[in-house]
Amino acid sequence: MNTLVVGLGNTLLGDEGVGVHIVNVLKDQPLPPSVVLKDGGVSGFDILPDILESDRVVIIDAAKMGLVPGSVRSFTLDNVQMPDGPEFSLHDLGLPQVLKLGSVISSLPPMLLIGIEPKKIAPGASLSEEVTGQMENILEYVYSAILDFTKEVVN
Protein backbone atom coordinates (compact mmCIF):
# COMPACT_ATOMS: atom_id res chain seq x y z
CA MET A 1 0.00 0.00 0.00
CA ASN A 2 1.29 3.47 -0.71
CA THR A 3 -0.31 6.81 0.04
CA LEU A 4 0.62 9.76 -2.13
CA VAL A 5 0.35 13.09 -0.33
CA VAL A 6 0.67 15.88 -2.84
CA GLY A 7 0.69 19.62 -2.31
CA LEU A 8 -0.46 21.72 -5.25
CA GLY A 9 -0.03 25.38 -5.97
CA ASN A 10 2.17 28.22 -7.12
CA THR A 11 4.53 29.29 -4.35
CA LEU A 12 5.12 32.60 -6.15
CA LEU A 13 1.45 33.60 -5.74
CA GLY A 14 1.10 33.93 -1.96
CA ASP A 15 -1.50 31.61 -0.44
CA GLU A 16 -1.99 29.86 -3.78
CA GLY A 17 1.09 27.81 -2.86
CA VAL A 18 -0.10 26.79 0.62
CA GLY A 19 -0.35 23.11 -0.41
CA VAL A 20 3.32 23.04 -1.37
CA HIS A 21 4.32 24.85 1.85
CA ILE A 22 2.48 22.21 3.89
CA VAL A 23 4.11 19.29 2.08
CA ASN A 24 7.50 20.89 2.70
CA VAL A 25 6.75 21.10 6.45
CA LEU A 26 5.50 17.49 6.50
CA LYS A 27 8.91 16.34 5.20
CA ASP A 28 10.28 16.91 8.69
CA GLN A 29 7.43 15.12 10.50
CA PRO A 30 7.14 11.44 11.46
CA LEU A 31 4.64 10.03 8.98
CA PRO A 32 2.92 6.68 8.40
CA PRO A 33 5.24 4.28 6.52
CA SER A 34 3.08 4.21 3.39
CA VAL A 35 3.23 7.98 2.84
CA VAL A 36 5.10 9.42 -0.13
CA LEU A 37 5.21 13.23 -0.22
CA LYS A 38 5.23 15.18 -3.46
CA ASP A 39 5.52 18.84 -4.39
CA GLY A 40 2.99 18.91 -7.25
CA GLY A 41 3.66 22.56 -8.08
CA VAL A 42 1.44 23.94 -10.81
CA SER A 43 1.80 21.19 -13.38
CA GLY A 44 -1.26 19.26 -12.31
CA PHE A 45 -1.01 17.14 -15.41
CA ASP A 46 2.35 15.73 -14.36
CA ILE A 47 1.01 14.25 -11.13
CA LEU A 48 -1.52 12.07 -12.95
CA PRO A 49 0.81 9.07 -13.45
CA ASP A 50 1.71 9.22 -9.73
CA ILE A 51 -1.98 9.39 -8.77
CA LEU A 52 -2.84 6.41 -10.95
CA GLU A 53 0.04 4.37 -9.52
CA SER A 54 -0.92 5.06 -5.89
CA ASP A 55 -3.27 3.10 -3.66
CA ARG A 56 -4.54 6.22 -1.87
CA VAL A 57 -4.08 9.89 -2.55
CA VAL A 58 -4.30 13.01 -0.40
CA ILE A 59 -4.30 16.32 -2.27
CA ILE A 60 -3.66 19.55 -0.40
CA ASP A 61 -4.48 22.79 -2.18
CA ALA A 62 -5.80 26.28 -1.63
CA ALA A 63 -9.60 26.27 -2.03
CA LYS A 64 -12.01 29.17 -2.13
CA MET A 65 -14.79 27.89 0.11
CA GLY A 66 -16.19 31.18 1.39
CA LEU A 67 -14.78 30.54 4.89
CA VAL A 68 -12.50 32.59 7.12
CA PRO A 69 -8.95 32.66 5.63
CA GLY A 70 -6.83 29.88 7.10
CA SER A 71 -9.86 27.57 7.56
CA VAL A 72 -9.26 24.00 6.54
CA ARG A 73 -11.74 21.34 5.37
CA SER A 74 -11.47 17.92 3.79
CA PHE A 75 -13.59 16.23 1.14
CA THR A 76 -13.79 12.96 -0.69
CA LEU A 77 -14.59 12.79 -4.39
CA ASP A 78 -18.14 11.63 -3.51
CA ASN A 79 -19.00 14.83 -1.70
CA VAL A 80 -17.60 17.44 -4.06
CA GLN A 81 -18.95 18.45 -7.41
CA MET A 82 -16.12 19.14 -9.83
CA PRO A 83 -16.80 22.12 -12.08
CA ASP A 84 -16.66 21.63 -15.85
CA GLY A 85 -13.39 23.31 -16.71
CA PRO A 86 -12.36 24.96 -19.96
CA GLU A 87 -11.36 22.77 -22.87
CA PHE A 88 -8.00 21.13 -22.31
CA SER A 89 -5.27 23.73 -22.38
CA LEU A 90 -1.91 23.54 -20.70
CA HIS A 91 -2.34 27.03 -19.49
CA ASP A 92 -5.44 26.42 -17.46
CA LEU A 93 -5.30 22.73 -16.64
CA GLY A 94 -6.59 22.36 -13.15
CA LEU A 95 -7.25 19.56 -10.73
CA PRO A 96 -10.79 18.83 -12.03
CA GLN A 97 -9.47 18.21 -15.56
CA VAL A 98 -6.60 16.07 -14.26
CA LEU A 99 -9.00 13.93 -12.25
CA LYS A 100 -11.42 13.73 -15.17
CA LEU A 101 -8.65 12.51 -17.47
CA GLY A 102 -7.54 10.04 -14.80
CA SER A 103 -11.05 8.66 -14.40
CA VAL A 104 -11.37 8.14 -18.17
CA ILE A 105 -8.08 6.23 -18.31
CA SER A 106 -8.55 4.17 -15.18
CA SER A 107 -10.43 4.13 -11.91
CA LEU A 108 -9.09 6.71 -9.50
CA PRO A 109 -7.77 5.46 -6.15
CA PRO A 110 -9.56 6.56 -2.95
CA MET A 111 -8.83 10.25 -2.54
CA LEU A 112 -8.98 12.86 0.18
CA LEU A 113 -8.94 16.51 -0.85
CA ILE A 114 -7.85 18.99 1.81
CA GLY A 115 -8.67 22.63 1.06
CA ILE A 116 -7.27 25.68 2.83
CA GLU A 117 -9.09 28.99 2.49
CA PRO A 118 -6.65 31.58 1.06
CA LYS A 119 -6.54 35.28 1.80
CA LYS A 120 -4.00 36.62 -0.66
CA ILE A 121 -3.55 35.23 -4.17
CA ALA A 122 -1.09 37.74 -5.57
CA PRO A 123 2.61 37.83 -6.54
CA GLY A 124 4.86 37.15 -3.56
CA ALA A 125 6.63 34.12 -2.11
CA SER A 126 5.18 34.36 1.40
CA LEU A 127 1.84 33.28 2.83
CA SER A 128 -0.60 35.88 4.17
CA GLU A 129 -0.62 36.71 7.88
CA GLU A 130 -4.06 35.13 8.19
CA VAL A 131 -2.93 31.76 6.78
CA THR A 132 0.42 31.87 8.61
CA GLY A 133 -1.46 32.62 11.84
CA GLN A 134 -3.54 29.47 11.39
CA MET A 135 -0.65 27.27 10.27
CA GLU A 136 -0.38 25.35 13.51
CA ASN A 137 -4.08 24.40 13.34
CA ILE A 138 -3.85 23.63 9.63
CA LEU A 139 -0.88 21.30 10.14
CA GLU A 140 -2.57 19.54 13.04
CA TYR A 141 -5.70 19.08 10.92
CA VAL A 142 -3.75 17.82 7.90
CA TYR A 143 -1.68 15.49 10.04
CA SER A 144 -4.71 13.89 11.72
CA ALA A 145 -6.57 13.73 8.41
CA ILE A 146 -3.67 11.74 6.90
CA LEU A 147 -3.60 9.37 9.88
CA ASP A 148 -7.40 8.88 9.76
CA PHE A 149 -7.30 8.33 6.01
CA THR A 150 -4.47 5.82 6.02
CA LYS A 151 -5.60 4.20 9.29
CA GLU A 152 -1.93 3.70 10.02
CA VAL A 153 0.11 4.43 13.09
CA VAL A 154 3.32 6.38 13.11
CA ASN A 155 6.29 4.37 14.28
Q: What is the contact surface with another protein in residues (CB under 8 A)?
A: 12, 39, 41-43, 46, 48-49, 86-91, 97, 100-101, 104-105
Output the smallest distance, CB 113 to another protein, in A. 20
Output the smallest distance, CB 151 to another protein, in A. 29
Q: Quick one: 65 or 121, whose CB is closer to another protein?
A: 121
CA–CA distances in Å: residue 27 to residues 10, 31, 62, 96: 18, 9, 19, 26
List of residues 6+ apart from 28 with CB closer than 8 A: none
Q: Quick one: 79 or 89, whose CB is closer to another protein?
A: 89
DSSP tag of 91:
T
Instruction: Residue 31: count other Cβ atoms within 10 Å of its Cβ.
Output: 20
Q: Quick one: 74 or 97, whose CB is closer to another protein?
A: 97
